């Protein structure tokens, strides 16, 4: 009986506690959705206010200055739209250099010394295939300067031979050998320059217009020139052979090959490089007025008179197949390519003359 009463009291207490717990749980309420939204809005506003406050703060200005160990760029404030961007590099000693663009190189710690013009005279040994024009290009001077500096080439640039030693001047002009009675004024007048050009040139080592000149020594005459003198060859002057063909005025290439030297003031012809023995033909119809050896540098030479004021010259031949007085047709073989006379390789020296005036063959050949 006693145990039954105790159990009932325990169950009644448990039940009563459970009911109270439920009642308290019902009284507890969670925050509403509208409260969370309000809190987030307030937080966002605070963030915006903070950003606006930070934008009003000026960052400190940074300036690059030089030190004894380095050179740093000093960049000026940003320009206006109308003002170009300029960067100033401050070097040691306070000097500055401006340059356009957003960046520039720092000052280099070394000095660039510009190349000085050459003032000394060189000696050049002629090689196979050389021409006066080609040698001049190697040294940056005019071909006439090489001719006027070397007596062997004075009147003929074809008088060139492998192994020859040539004087190469440092500037364009004339290499004058002093003669008895020469003065600076006379030399200047001869080569059409002012006396100061000769006096002031370092290599000459002259102390004034009355400097003593020693016969046999040389002077460089910068800018000096000499007149051109055409070579002459004694040709046949007899009557025109009967039945001699007459030229048409149209010229064909006398040989196949490539141009090794063109037409210039003291080489009024073209040189056509080819192989030894290649056939050489008459560029136009006519008759032969010279066929044989020439001592002025042409070597084996054939000259054809075309009967209309034109004559053509074919030089440095290895073989000649015509004689003086022969009538030849355009395209007929008259010789073979060689390297006779003064020559640095097999080629044909070809001239076209009208009333003995040398014309540029490239303006006539087809």
At residue 46, the pLDDT reads 77
Q: What is the CA radius of gyration of the chain?
A: 49
Least confident of 82-96, 222-236, 259-273, 336-350: 82-96
Q: Which tokens go with 198?
A: 């000769």
> What whole-number distance in Å separates Cα of residue 101 and Cα of residue 86?
6
Nearest to 149 by CA among 298, 266, 296, 315: 266
At residue 303, the pLDDT reads 98
User: What mean pLDDT comes out for the span 12-34?
Assistant: 51
Q: Do domains 122-222 and 258-363 have the same CATH topology?
A: no
Percentage of the chain modeled with pLDDT above 90: 50
Q: What is the CATH number of domain 122-222?
A: 3.10.350.10
> What whole-number distance in Å separates Cα of residue 172 and Cα of residue 225?
9
At residue 41, the pLDDT reads 67
At residue 288, the pLDDT reads 97
88 vs 320, higher pLDDT? 320
Tens digit of each residue's pLDDT (9 = 90 or more) over 151-198:
888 877 877 888 999 999 999 999 999 999 999 999 999 999 999 999
**Residue extents of the structural domains in the chain:** 71-103, 122-222, 258-363
pLDDT at 60 over 70: no
pLDDT band at 205 (very low <50, low <70, confident <90, very high): very high
* Residue 5: exposure state from Cβ atoms within 10 A (0-12, 13-18, ≥19): exposed
pLDDT at 355 over 70: yes
Percentage of the chain modeled with pLDDT above 70: 69
Ramachandran category for residue 161: left, alpha or beta (phi over 0 → left; psi -120 to 50 → alpha): beta
pLDDT band at 34 (very low <50, low <70, confident <90, very high): low
* CA end-to-end distance (rounded Å), the chain: 150
CA angle 198, 203, 204 (to 5 degrees): 45
Q: What is the CATH number of domain 258-363?
A: 2.70.70.10
Handedness of CA 268, 269, 270, 275 (dihedral sign): negative
Q: Which residues pair with 335 in a beta bridge?
A: 280, 320
> What whole-number distance in Å separates Cα of residue 278 and Cα of residue 316?
12
pLDDT band at 19 (very low <50, low <70, confident <90, very high): low
Answer whether 283's CB lies under 8 Å from 365's CB. Answer: yes
Nearest to 274 by CA among 203, 212, 336: 336
Answer whether 348's CB lies under 8 Å from 364's CB. Answer: no
State the number of CA atoms in the 13 A half-sphere of 170 facing the CB. 12
Answer whether 294's CB lies under 8 Å from 343's CB. Answer: no
Least confident of 63-72, 135-144, 314-323: 63-72
3-state per-residue secondary structure call for the chain: CHHHHHHHHHHHHHHHHHHHHHHHHHHCCCCCHHHHHHHHHHHHHHHHHHHHHHHCCCCCCCCCCCECCECCEEECCCCCCCCCCEEEEECCCCCEEEEECCCCCCCCCCCCCCCCCCCCCEEEECCCCCCHHHHHHHHCCCHHHHHHHCHHHCCCCCCCCCCCEEEECCCCEEEEECCCCCCHHHHHHHCCCCHHHHHCCHHHCCCCCCCCCCCCCEEEEECCCCCCCCCCCCCCCCCCCCCCCCCCCCECCCCCCEEEECCECCECCEEEECCCCCEEECCCCEEEEEEEEECCCCEEEEEEECCCCEEEEEECEEEECCCCCCEECCCCEEEEEECCCCCCCCEEEEEEEECCEEECHHHCEC
């Amino acid at each position: 009986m006693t145990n039954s009463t105790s159990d009932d009291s325990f169950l009644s207490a448990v039940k009563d506690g459970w009911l109270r717990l439920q009642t308290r749980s019902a009284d507890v309420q969670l925050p509403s959705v509208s409260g969370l939204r309000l809190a987030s809005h307030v937080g966002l506003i605070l963030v915006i206010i903070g950003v606006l406050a930070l934008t009003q703060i000026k960052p400190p200005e940074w300036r690059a200055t030089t030190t004894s160990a380095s050179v740093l760029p000093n960049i000026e404030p940003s320009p206006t739209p109308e003002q170009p961007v300029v960067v100033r590099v401050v070097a040691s000693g306070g000097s500055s250099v401006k340059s356009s663009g957003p960046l520039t190189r720092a000052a280099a710690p070394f000095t660039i010394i510009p190349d000085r013009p050459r003032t000394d005279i060189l000696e050049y040994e002629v090689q196979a295939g050389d021409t006066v024009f080609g040698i001049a290009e190697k040294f940056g001077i005019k071909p006439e300067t090489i001719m006027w500096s070397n007596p062997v080439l004075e009147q003929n640039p074809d008088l060139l031979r492998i192994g020859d030693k040539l004087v190469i001047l440092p500037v364009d002009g004339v290499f004058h050998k002093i003669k008895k009675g020469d003065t600076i004024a006379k030399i200047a007048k001869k080569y059409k320059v002012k006396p100061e050009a000769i006096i002031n040139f370092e290599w000459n080592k002259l102390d004034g217009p009355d400097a003593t000149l020693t016969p046999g020594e040389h002077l460089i005459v910068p800018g000096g020139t000499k007149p051109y003198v055409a070579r002459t060859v004694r040709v046949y002057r007899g009557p025109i052979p009967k039945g001699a063909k007459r030229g048409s005025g149209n010229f064909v290439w006398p040989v196949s090959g490539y141009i090794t030297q063109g037409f210039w003031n003291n080489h009024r012809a073209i040189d056509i490089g080819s192989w030894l023995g290649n056939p050489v033909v008459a560029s136009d119809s006519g008759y032969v007025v010279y066929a044989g050896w020439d001592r002025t540098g042409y070597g084996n030479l054939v000259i054809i008179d075309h009967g209309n004021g034109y004559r053509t010259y074919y030089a440095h031949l290895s073989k000649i197949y015509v004689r003086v007085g022969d009538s030849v047709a355009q395209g007929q073989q008259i010789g073979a390519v060689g390297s006779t006379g003064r020559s640095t390789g097999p080629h044909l020296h070809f001239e076209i003359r009208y009333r003995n005036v040398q014309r540029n063959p490239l303006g006539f050949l087809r």
